[in-house]
């Protein structure tokens, strides 16, 4: 692990939102009890392989600062996920599939910190189910972001993908300024390409087109979004979904595959 100095700190002090569901007395008790080891990460490649031996009883690592990139390498393609404060990760959980040989690599884009939620903390969380519920919320939020990212990567037109991506990033890292929403993240074109499922040269061209149209511009180290957010579902998308549902019901109710005839109606009752 590319770490600097280690220290110990209260989990509630590191991430006060984890105490959101507790009253003041419970929050103080959790603050005293949930003391964690904190590792500071330096910018650069992060060798998560050394964590492979961690057991499933460890809860995970909670990112409390900085920015990480989790890249999944599959054949000649690389997909990326950005992770920041509040994200719960388990780098040791990824196991290479036997039939689909993908690999994962980690990079610390902006120096930060992770809190170690080990088996001891896992045991103590049973005394504070409110904190545990907040951690589960974080996992669900991450799953939702990944689902949206998948939808973004399927949009027609790389310029549309880029605009949707930056509005998604703005939800978490954006700041409203005069003239738009500013996003300050260390994102080279190569990484942006991995986030939207495109090639770097195509992304560079599309970014130029968005700048020419005044929708997404570069301001020093920041990106500036102009105009209104995008992504409102269209009537055409709703029509396609309804058609697919009707087709599924017809096929499932007509005895296709292993489903008995009328299977949907029988299951529903």
- pLDDT value of residue 97: 57
pLDDT confidence tier of residue 58, bands split at 50, 70 and 90: confident
pLDDT tens digit string along 148-181?
A: 999 999 999 999 999 999 999 999 999 999 989 9
Q: Note whether residue 53 is domain-resident.
A: yes
pLDDT tier, 96 (very low <50, low <70, confident <90, very high otherwise): low
Is 202 inside any structural domain? yes
**Same domain assignment for residues 168 and 221:** yes
HSE of 210, CA atoms in CB hemisphere, 13 A: 25
**Residues 17 and 135 placed together within one structural domain of the fold:** yes
pLDDT at residue 1, as a whole number? 41
Domain match, 35 and 111 both: yes
Report yes or no: 87 and 141 within 8 Å, Cβ to Cβ: no
Task: At 167, list the tokens.
Answer: 């509005």
Its domain, for residue 79, covers: 3-153
Q: Of 153, 171, 193, which residue sits at a domain end?
A: 153
Q: Name the 3-class secondary structure at 78.
A: strand
Do 110 and 221 belong together in one domain?
A: no
pTM: 0.84
- CA pair distance 133, 125, nearest whole angstrom: 10
Q: Average pLDDT for residues 4-23, to the nearest whole number?
A: 90
Number of separate domains in the chain:
3
- Residue 81 to residue 264: CA distance in whole angstroms: 37
Same domain, 143 and 260: no
199 falls within a domain? yes
Dihedral sign of CA atoms 224, 45, 70, 194 in order:
positive
Q: Among 50, 111, 122, 47, which Cα is nearest to 88's?
A: 122
Q: Both 186 and 257 in a single domain?
A: no
Q: What is the spatial distance between Cα 200 and Cα 188, in angstroms, rounded to a whole number?
A: 9
Question: What are the φ and ψ backbone dihedral angles of 36, each rounded to 5 degrees?
Answer: -120, 160
DSSP, residue by residue, 188-237: -HHHHHHHHT--HHHHHHHHHHHHHTTSEEEETTEEEE-S----PPPHHH
Dist CA 269 CA 261 (whole Å): 14
Structure tokens that stand for 34 in this block: 């949930």
Q: Residue 230 domain-assigned?
A: no
67 and 138 co-located in one domain: yes
Domain with residue 169: its CATH number is 1.10.10.10
Asked if residue 115 and residue 7 are part of one domain, the reply reads yes
Same domain, 215 and 239: no
User: Are 164 and 217 in a shared domain?
Assistant: yes
Among candidate residues 29, 24, 3, the one with its CA nearest the CA of residue 11: 29
CATH code of the domain in which 35 resides: 2.60.120.10
Give the model's confidence band at 94: pLDDT under 50 very low, under 70 low, under 90 confident, else very high. low
With respect to residue 15, please indicate whether it lies within any of the assigned structural domains. Answer: yes
- Shared domain for 240 and 175, answered yes or no, is no
From 101, 132, 153, give the residue that closes a domain.
153
Q: Provide the pLDDT for residue 241.
A: 73
User: 141-148, long-range: CB within 8 Å, 24+ apart, which pairs?
Assistant: 142/83, 142/87, 142/88, 146/81
For 247-269, write each residue's pLDDT tens digit: 778 776 655 444 444 444 444 33
Higher pLDDT, 195 or 266: 195
Domain boundary among 153, 168, 199: 153
In this structure, are 250 and 189 located in the same domain? Answer: no
**CA distances, 195 to each of 73, 100, 109, 232 (Å):** 13, 21, 14, 20
């Amino acid at each position: 692990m590319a770490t600097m100095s280690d220290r110990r700190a209260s989990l509630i002090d590191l991430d006060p939102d984890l105490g959101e569901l507790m009253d003041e007395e419970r929050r103080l008790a959790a603050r005293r009890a949930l003391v964690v080891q904190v590792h500071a990460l330096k910018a650069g490649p992060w060798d998560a392989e050394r964590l492979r031996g961690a057991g499933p009883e460890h809860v995970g690592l909670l990112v409390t600062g900085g920015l990480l990139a989790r890249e999944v390498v599959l054949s000649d393609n690389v997909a990326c996920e950005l992770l920041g404060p509040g994200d719960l990760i388990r780098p040791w959980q990824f196991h290479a599939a036997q039939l689909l040989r993908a690999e994962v690599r980690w990079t610390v884009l902006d120096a930060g910190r992770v809190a170690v939620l080990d088996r001891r903390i896992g045991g103590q969380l049973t005394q504070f189910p409110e904190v545990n519920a907040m951690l589960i919320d974080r996992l669900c939020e991450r799953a939702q972001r990944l689902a949206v990212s998948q939808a973004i990567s399927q949009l027609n037109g790389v310029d549309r993908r880029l605009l949707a991506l930056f509005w998604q990033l703005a939800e978490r890292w954006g700041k409203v300024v005069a003239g738009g929403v500013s996003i300050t993240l260390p994102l080279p074109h190569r990484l942006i390409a991995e986030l939207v499922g495109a090639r770097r040269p195509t992304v560079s061209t599309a970014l130029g087109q968005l700048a020419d149209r005044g929708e997404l511009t570069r301001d020093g180290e920041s990106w500036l979004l102009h105009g209104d957010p995008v992504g409102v579902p269209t009537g055409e998308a709703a029509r396609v979904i309804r058609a697919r549902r009707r087709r599924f019901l017809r096929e499932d109710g007509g005895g296709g595959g292993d489903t008995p005839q009328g299977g949907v109606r029988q299951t529903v009752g």
